[in-house]
Structure 1
Amino acid sequence: MPELISTSQLSRIVLKGFKSIVECDIELTQLNIFIGCNGAGKSNFIGFFRMIEQMLENKLQVFVSRQGGPDAILHFGRKITEQLEVELYFGHNGYFATFEPTQDNRLMFSKESFWWDMSGEKRISSGHFETKASQGTGTGSDMYVLPAMKQWRVYHFHDTSDSAYVKQPHGINDNAYLRADGRNLAAFLYLLKEKYSESYQQIVKTVRLVAPFFGDFYLRPSPQNNDVIELEWFEQGQDIPFKAHHFSDGTLRFICLATVFLQPNLFYKPATILVDEPELGLHPYAITVLASLMRAAAQKKQVIVSTQSVELLNEFAAKDVIVVDRDDGKSLLRRLKEEDLYEWLEDYSLGELWKKNILGGRPSR
């Protein structure tokens, strides 16, 4: 299995009792493509990372409440699953946590610790409701684990309706990083245009591959309020700016995705990029371009993507793919082995094998 480039990237995850995932132990590499049918548990796997993001912002209980309480997070509730167990490994270091539901519908840390293979597990604390990981353990793990956990970003660009945040005016200084739903896309692109022109031009040229009518973004402070900006653009050969709602849903999603995978290494750079079903609304050619962006990004970052697209799957190797099946209400995750599919792949693509149910990840009774 390929070695990870950076110890800031997740090399292995052990997860027990999270929603449909009763138990999984998966090794992760630079490029990880999750496939499976509707309801198999792909989005639950990605959703776990959202929980950790919220936890690191001291908003774990807010996350739990918005999910519907501990019983909506624990597999089939507390009567079936008494606790949630998490082990995250970053090379030789790791983060362990165990969560238990309380009578007042919160999740409590019954254990939180760092791990280092030279000295084993070092407990941080227990009995608390928001993470105390920042306190550290006084070991070498303190330098690696928490910073690594803060360097992943979960993106979802499903909402492209008229009221979507990405289409609304927003603060021009909201540009430290691209937010999960792209709500600060214009501010972020404005920063790239002013300070990172090479990355900005790459994004523009890539968007033109998928949308040949696209000329360039029109990025400027609002004439009414210089502290505000919104997404505007020109069509090729024209000088009349259009608003974001003149983009098709697929084009707008692709712009967000191109920005994610072509963003330069800023201060808040993501070491791990996670995207749930990026193919939504995209033309097959756009999916091909997207796959090339993902492969290129995976040379320097870790990429974790869930998909139901045969076209997207066809762009990757078997070793990149993790299949998610659902059996008796449980999500089962396994990485494909190229040697098991060698003869099949001489005659068929991965997508064709998926449709033939050779790979799994298909609906079953």
Structure 2
Amino acid sequence: MTTEEISAMTLDSSLQGHISKVTIRGFRSIENIENLHLGQLTVLIGANGSGKSNLMRFFEMLSYSLKAKNLQQFVLDKGGGDDQLFFGARRTPRMEAEIQLETEQGVNEYRMALTHVAPDTLAFSQEAFRFSRHDRNGHGKWVELPMPAQESSLPAAAADKNQSSQRTARTILYLLRNCTSYQFHDTSAKASLNMRWDESDAMRLRSDGGNLAPILLYLSQEHPRRYSLIKRQIQRVLPVFDDFQLEGTGGKVLLRWRASNSDKSFGPHLTSDGSLRLFCLFTLLNLPDEMLPDVLMIDEPELGLHPHAIALTAEMIKSVASQRQVFIATQSPLMVDAFDVENILVARLKEGATELTPMDKAEYQTWLEDDYQPSDLWLKEPVG
């Protein structure tokens, strides 16, 4: 999506909303999740291999496909079509989903299906959408899109000014495009975070944090108060940190930072993995409102962080969730305990299929009154 497209769509505040309910059948370890209700903040917990991140991966796939009309590239990058289907294409030749998106005006629904096709990819075999107003009884009429197609037909429907349903298509397209998954795990020598980056790439933080340096440079120039806040938050966890040193060369900028009481500055190759992830995470969670996507999905935000940093991160996540819908997947008891039971979905693997179950506060109330934490209740449960 171009800069002009993002700006034009962001100006219309009526497009903003959240994902309220989802049904997914046949995606990776998700055999069948029916009518899963999702709140403003969702904390996904579960054992290794339980599939807790696959809910976020599904929305990542949709977002990627709709931004660039490039489902084929996503499938190629993620190992092929067979790997995206529950127990493979022989067992599950077709993936289906229904998504409910709520805005101030009403409920927007989108349903789709992807079918496995030769040699090993996926193609859209069904797409439809409808809108139902809050102030009217009943549901709107489904609009079926032309099928089959290698790529989604939703962008074309959103651009068709001659169709009365254009606004609904545009709203759904905007919201699903604006689901952004963040994973700051790769801090290796060849990671994007360690490279010089184009100064102009400063509109949105990339999912791997690769353009952190131009983002920080832009904030220091255009949002100095926000930039100062990010510095203060980092200093609360990393007292030796003084400031970033962001100097452009030939239109590119490298991430460097300066230690307090020293003239020495450090590049990413001399910075610990935990500190690099901290820089990315704290910058993301303190971005100006217009630089945030509508839906943030963060995988294992606790990775490599000190316990104090985990507690601080949780408070930032709750703050962002007051304005944006946020999903996190975590295995950290410290992170889990920072949130209310109502925010938690527990992932369990049963006969190879992921189940996502809300942690019911009423069910655990006696335990909570005896000063047990949510993580105590989670860890008491069997793994499989």
Q: Say how many residue pairs are matched.
A: 352
C-alpha contact (below 8 Å) 1:33/1:321 kept by paired residues = yes
Q: Within 5 A, what are the aligned runs for 1:49-198?
A: 49-56=59-66, 57-91=68-102, 92-117=107-132, 118-136=139-157, 138-139=164-165, 140-198=167-225
C-alpha contact (below 8 Å) 1:124/1:135 kept by paired residues = no
Which residue is equivalent to 2:28? 19
Q: What is the CA–CA distance in structure 1 between the aligned matches of 2:310 and 2:343, rounded to whole Å? A: 17
C-alpha contact (below 8 Å) 2:29/2:354 kept by paired residues = yes
Q: 1:251 pairs with 275, 283, 303, which one? A: 275
Q: What is the CA–CA distance in structure 2 between the aligned matches of 1:300 and 1:19, rounded to whole Å? A: 30
Question: Which segment is superposed worse, 59-68 or 22-31?
Answer: 59-68
Query: 1:311 deviation in Å?
Result: 0.6
Partner AA of 2:219 in structure 1 = L
Q: What is the CA–CA distance in structure 1 between the aligned matches of 2:311 and 2:16, rounded to whole Å? A: 30
Query: 1:6 deviation in Å?
Result: 8.1
Q: Within 5 A, what are the aligned runs for 1:215-364?
A: 215-222=242-249, 225=250, 227-266=251-290, 269-347=292-370, 348-357=372-381, 362-364=382-384
Q: What is the CA–CA distance in structure 2 between the aligned matches of 1:309 and 1:248, rounded to whole Å? A: 20
Overall identity of the aligned pairs, in %: 32
C-alpha RMSD of the superposition: 1.6
Query: 1:349 deviation in Å?
Result: 0.7
Question: Over residues 109-151 of structure 1, what are the superposed CA-to-partner deviations in whole Å (9 max), with x where a residue is unaligned?
Answer: 1111112134132112211001111122632412411111121
C-alpha contact (below 8 Å) 1:8/1:145 kept by paired residues = no
Partner AA of 2:155 in structure 1 = S
Compute the TM-score of the two structures, normalised by the length of structure 1: 0.93
Distance change (3 Å), C-alpha of 1:315 and 1:87: same
Distance change (3 Å), C-alpha of 1:65 and 1:162: closer
Compute the TM-score of the two structures, normalised by the length of structure 2: 0.88
Partner AA of 2:150 in structure 1 = F
Q: What is the CA–CA distance in structure 1 between the aligned matches of 2:275 and 2:180, rounded to whole Å? A: 22
Query: 1:7 deviation in Å?
Result: 4.8
Q: What is the CA–CA distance in structure 1 between the aligned matches of 2:292 and 2:54, rounded to whole Å? A: 24
C-alpha contact (below 8 Å) 1:208/1:215 kept by paired residues = yes
> Greater share of helix residues, 1 or 2?
2
Question: Over residues 217-261 of structure 1, what are the superposed CA-to-partner deviations in whole Å (9 max), with x where a residue is unaligned?
Answer: 111212xx2x01000111112223221222211111111011111
| SS across alignment from 1:299 | coil
Is structure 2 residue 232 aligned with structure 1 residue 205? yes
Question: Which segment is superposed worse, 247-256 or 64-73?
Answer: 64-73
Q: Within 5 A, what are the aligned runs for 1:20-59?
A: 20-24=29-33, 25-56=35-66, 57-59=68-70
Query: 1:11 deviation in Å?
Result: 1.0
Question: Which segment is superposed worse, 237-246 or 269-278?
Answer: 237-246
Query: 1:8 deviation in Å?
Result: 2.2
| SS across alignment from 1:339 | helix
Q: What is the CA–CA distance in structure 1 between the aligned matches of 2:170 and 2:123, rounded to whole Å? A: 25
Q: What is the CA–CA distance in structure 1 between the aligned matches of 2:359 and 2:318, rounded to whole Å? A: 18
